[in-house]
Amino acid sequence: MLPILFSVLIAFTNYSSPNYLPPANLVDWIGFDSFKNMFSLSKWTGTFYGVLGWTIVWAVVSTATTFFGGFAVALLVQQKGIRLRAMWRTIFMLPFAIPAFLSLLIIRNMFNSQFGPINQYLGRLGITGPEWMSDPIWAKVTVVLANMWLGFPISMLLIIGILTTIPRDLYEAADVDGASPFQKFKAITLPSVMFALSPILIGQFAGNINNFNVIFLMTGGGPVNSDYQFAGSTDILITWLYNLSISNGKYNFASVVGIILFLIIASLSIHSFRRTRAFREDDLLR
């Protein structure tokens, strides 16, 4: 509790390194000046809204790609007539079993624009590979793909468990009614999965907002954005907070970002969770 309280109180001081290093140079209480500067000074405001916008896009896209990617693989593995299901499940779980640190470093080298194998294979096909890490758009695409590779196995595993619990009678009744595969998916499979996984999806969304490892290890927040203050084109709020505090010593502004980040995650999570069907039915059972 004390570290949390200390990190919050820093936002109301002018604590920054090396200008203020207690006990030689004590900090001053400046109230809400850091918050005002964050939302009034153009260099801070532009960076904050730019990073915030990308953070929300990153969280939504990352959550959607890992969920639907795992959903698609789970449906394929569970199809009738698929042989060696245990082997396929094991193979698709390998990205989750390998330490994320190693996977991200390998993927980063694969997307290297100069000697990476992806651009080499594209070159053999007569296609000029993009500057994956140097171009802001392609850098964002790269981190989304890397996160999808790391995240889809756990979604696949959860969805496979749910698929095995859906009564077969529902599908047999749908077959009698002449329902198409898409209609059965829309009316039976998807609602059953969403009912069970909605709270987990909300947790994954909140986790992706704070997904420090993928951004930091893949791009380090780069490429450089000259319009941003201590942030790069792929930085999200949590990596910007790291740059402000550890790399540049702007602890008061980092604390402001941390408070805003907490308020965003808490409000979105509480609002979304209370709207889930699982939460409402839990209230009815009490």
pLDDT score of 214 more than 80:
yes
User: Virtual CA dihedral for 190, 196, 200, 202, nearest 10 degrees?
Assistant: 60
Domains in the chain with CATH codes = 50-248 (1.10.3720.10)
- Burial per residue of 153-188, b for 16 or more beta-carbon CB atoms within 10 angstroms, e otherwise: bbbbbbbbebbeeeeeeeeeebeeeebeeeebeeeb
CA proximity to 92, closest of 71, 65, 109: 71
Range name among 77-86, 199-208, 272-281 with the lowest pLDDT average? 272-281
pLDDT score of 279 more than 70:
no
pLDDT score of 276 more than 70:
no
User: What is residue 284's predicted lDDT score, i.e. its pLDDT?
Assistant: 46
CA proximity to 182, closest of 192, 172, 194, 190: 190
Cα 155 versus chain centre, distance: 14
Question: Quick one: average pLDDT of 247-255?
Answer: 92
What tens digit of pLDDT does each residue of 67-119 get?
A: 999 999 999 998 887 888 888 888 888 888 889 999 999 999 999 998 899 99
Range name among 23-27, 74-78, 103-107, 235-239 with the lowest pLDDT average? 23-27
pTM (2 d.p.): 0.90
What tens digit of pLDDT does each residue of 138-170 get?
A: 999 999 999 999 999 999 999 999 998 999 899
Q: Mean pLDDT over all residues of the chain?
A: 89
pLDDT score of 184 more than 60:
yes
pLDDT score of 218 more than 60:
yes
pLDDT score of 280 more than 70:
no
3-state secondary structure 68-96: HHHHHHHHHHCCCCCCCHHHHHHHHHHHH
